[in-house]
Structure 1
Amino acid sequence: MKRTLLKPAAVAGALLLALAACGTDSGDSSSDSGSGGFTAPDVPMKKSLGETEGEVSILAWPGYAENGSSDPKVDWVTPFEKKTGCKASVKTFNTSDEAVTLMKTGEYDVVSASGDASLRLIASGDVQPVNTDLLTNYADISSFLKDRDWNSVDGQMYGMPHGWGANLLMYRTDTVKPAPTSWSAVFDEASTYDGKVTAYDSPIYIADAALYLMNTQPDLGIKNPYALDQDQLAAAVDVLKKQKESVSEYWSDYLKEIQAFTTGDSVIGTTWQVIVQVAQGEKVPVQAILPDEGSTGWSDTWMVKADSDHSNCAYAWLDHMASPETQAAVAEWFGEAPANLKACDLTSDPKHCDNYHAGDSSYADKIWYWTTPVEQCIDGRKDVKCTNYGDWTQAWTEVKG
């Protein structure tokens, strides 16, 4: 997965450089225990905090660890260093695959892992279980982001939840009429907008097709869009191959998507809330919805290297990133809902949390957050083997041709 980072128009009307829900369609995501679908390696968990080690190496999506170099007013790394005495070195990455590869070098103490990377890091033993009792701000994190399939195994958390967001359906209001209410507009009815449909460019987008099939073809038996056996994956691939006939382009660069909607080369397709706001700020006639079937989405997690030599500084970083002040700053700069709702009182835009549905648990319950596909079916099935991320990567190559 590759994400595109933006700075919302609501903050400064400008953009940054590039960059990232398991719920249920019945709205009861809390029933998901976050088993992870496998037995995690025996990696020790930190029992207590000690003196900080003076340094910490951070691997992050662009925009998640700002030190003022992008904008002097945007800096939460320097306050962290002054408060903890931990000198922070930051390296950014552009894809989840890149993050996984870099973590395997052993050079980084913490990483902001998206749901299509986190389980891979847990299963390989590259990250450690996190003792949430040692994190002051963990109690203030929204409950629907805790103990989930992408950040925990057998009830054990493996990190500090960060921001989150939904993958929405955006359309040009002057072209797409009547207004869509379902993902059918870009799947079964995609030919209505032949050559003007856009879709997200990543293997994880297969889950969008799987979610649609889960709602429209119940006989397939899909219970979780990230837990697909071979037949279910094949069905999702068929949907995407048919959709491809009407696709104008697959996007991973937000600028290209905005440009395509501006020119009318694309009139309908998947997007993020922050992209909607930027496009509307540039007077592009677009709206976006969370369709009737619900949606996929993303929630990132700060994770700690399994054998980190700077684990006290690493824990200090996790706590700092979960504080209301930092959450408010990151949420506005990056364009997402904060995980800590106390941040909502501190955003410069008083409507930020409303725009991103930060405190709306019923909205969040409609989202199936990106989760790494693994062979052990995370939907509870024991009699079949599910497809893994490698299978999805190969399938996505077949879809795009």
Structure 2
Amino acid sequence: MTKAPSVNRREFALGSAAALAGLVAAPAIARAASKELRILTWEGYAEPDWVNPFKEATGADVSIVYTGSVDEMFAKMQGSKGADFDVVAFDTSSFKRYIDGSLIQPIDMGKVANAGNIIPEFKSVDAITRDSKQYGVPFAWGSLPLVYDATAFPQAPDSWSVMWDPQYAQQMIALDDANNSIVLAALLLGFPEPYNLSDDQFEQVKQKLIEQKKLLLTYYAGFDEGVKLFADNKLKLMFSMGEPQVAALKAKGVNAALSIPKEKAIGWLDCWVISAGAQNVDLANQWINACLDKKVGNLLSTKKSYGNTTDAEANKSIGMTYGDRLAWLLTPENFEKRVAVWNEVKAS
């Protein structure tokens, strides 16, 4: 697992814990005689609003298994070498291990007519391609932005350097998260590959994070904890876990807002992929095509508060117009090293 907040972004956006749910499936023998799409995904990505029209259009049954974490999802796929599912949704940081494990297959984009609906900033994503083959189709996205008290900052801070400004000492909190904290410092330092650092860059990142640690009130480990600390202590700045923390702070009476600084912010981008063990690739392509309908994109944003990849106006309606200013999550060069460096920062 390359990023701790993966589960939390869905839990706080949807108000749900990890669950295992789905449409009631027929026995294995009966399924073999019928057309069925088997989906492994996050809650909110396979809603009746678009599942039912898909079933009507294709005549297929749909079984849905929801996952609670990226590691749980990978274990389910690895356990059957992908044979238990046809389509899966996961973010850009996971593609390397799925491709290396031969768990997913390239997608023939010529069979996904609605790919033409994908808005420009999501048309070319390096993490989902290998050897000129495309393995994923972008579907939903969000970020880890800078959250601030708009009363204290009438003009939005435009640089992460504000969280290293001594005048705000003890008025800031940040994520207790190894990978994301290291990526943030790397972005601020201007390193072009924040997920692939040299030993010298690691040392610079460590010193930068130690410098910040002296100014923070504390680190926080969960969505609710961050919101509570910010509201209760009347804080001014936070390296946040995602856009929904703004709404949660507003609900507590905080004049909260978010900024995507000039150095960029960390972004997560979930994509639909086709399992290497898919029973019906054509049906899997039809599902991906259905999910790229602009109506689905609109619902994903207006009903579920995710950024979508096909309806720019729906993104605009919820204020998510900055997909081109995010550093999309990738698999880091050495996650264990990142954890070790982060522990050194916290122990300093």
Interval containing the TM-score (normalised by the shorter chain): 0.7 to 0.9
Quote the sequence identity (%): 25
Q: Determine the structure 2 residue equivalent to 1:79.
A: 53
**Other-structure match for 2:338:** 392
1:207-246 to 2 correspondences below 5 Å: 207-214=183-190, 222-245=191-214, 246=216
- Does structure 1 residue 63 correspond to structure 2 residue 44? yes
Is 1:275–2:249 an aligned residue pair? no
Structure 2 residue identity aligned to 1:210: A
Q: Match for 2:53: what amino acid? A: P
Cα offset, 1:284, TM superposition? 1.6
**1:102 partner amino acid:** K
Pick closer, same or farther for the CA change 1:185–1:104 going to 2, 3 Å: same
**In the TM superposition, what whole-angstrom CA distance separates every residue of 1:220-239 from its partner, at most 9, and x where no partner exists?**
xx322122123323332333
CA apart distance, 1:326 = 1.4
Q: Equivalents in 2 of 1:83, 1:263: separation in Å?
A: 51
1:334 correspondence with 2:333: no
> In 2, are the aligned partners of 1:96 and 1:116 still within 8 Å (CA)?
no
Taking the aligned partners of 2:256 and 2:283, their CA distance within structure 1 comes to 44
Task: Measure, in 1, the Cα distance between the counterparts of 2:188 and 2:38.
Answer: 40
Q: Does 1:320 align with 2:296?
A: no
Say which of 140, 144, 151 aligns to 1:163.
140
Letter in 2 for 1:356: G
Say which of 197, 203, 213 aligns to 2:173: 197
Say whether residues 1:353 and 2:316 are aligned partners: yes
Q: Which residue of 2 aligns with 1:112?
A: 89
Structure 2 residue aligned with 1:125: 102
- How far, CA to CA, are the matches of 1:205 and 1:364 in structure 2? 20
Q: C-alpha displacement at 1:265, in angstroms?
A: 6.3
Pair 1:268–1:58, CA change in 2 (3 A): same
CA contact (8 A) 2:146 2:239 kept: yes
Q: Which segments of 5 or more consecutive residues in structure 2 lack a partner in the other structure?
A: 19-32
Q: How many residues are aligned here?
A: 323
The alpha-carbon deviation at position 200 of structure 1 amounts to 6.1
Q: 1:310 to 1:273 in 2, by over 3 A?
A: same
Equivalent position of 1:94 in the other structure = 68
Secondary structure at 1:162 match in 2: strand
CA spacing shift, 1:283–1:316, aligned 2, 3 Å: same
Cα separation, partners in 2 of 1:103 and 1:240, compared to 1, 3 Å: farther
Partner residue, 1:365: 324
Structure 1 pair 137/225, CA: closer, same or farther in 2 (3 Å)? same
5+ unaligned residues in a row in structure 1: which ranges?
Answer: 9-14, 20-51, 68-74, 215-221, 374-386
Contact 1:112/1:301 (8 A) holds in 2: yes
**Shift in Å, 1:101:** 2.2
Supply the distance in 1 between the matched residues of 2:293 and 2:176 (Cα, whole angstroms): 31
Q: What TM-score do the two structures reach when normalised by structure 1?
A: 0.71
Residues 228 and 190 of structure 1: CA distance in aligned 2, closer, same or farther (over 3 Å): farther
**SS in structure 2 at match of 1:163:** strand
Residue 275 of structure 1 aligns to a residue in which SS? Answer: helix
SS of equivalent residue, structure 2 residue 276: coil
Q: Which amino acid aligns with 2:10?
A: L
CA-to-partner distance for each residue in 1:369-391, whole Å, 9 max, x for gaps? 11122xxxxxxxxxxxxx23444
> What code does the residue aligned with 2:319 have?
Y
Contact kept, 8 Å, 2:40 with 2:66, in 1: the verdict is yes
1:219 aligns with: none
Report the CA distance shift for 1:295/1:196 in structure 2 as closer, same or farther (over 3 A): closer
Runs of 4+ in 1 over 6 A off after TM superposition: none
Counterpart AA for 2:133:
Q
Find out whether 1:285 has 2:255 as its counterpart.
Answer: yes
Find the counterpart in structure 1 of residue 25 from structure 2: none
CA distance in 2 between counterparts of 1:103 and 1:113 reads 12
For 1:319, what is the secondary structure of its paired residue? Answer: helix
Backbone CA RMSD of aligned residues: 2.9
Distance in 2, Cα, partners of 1:105 & 1:396? 32
- Distance 1:256-1:180 versus aligned 2 partners, 3 A rule: same
User: Aligned equivalents of 2:147 and 2:300: distance in 1?
Assistant: 24
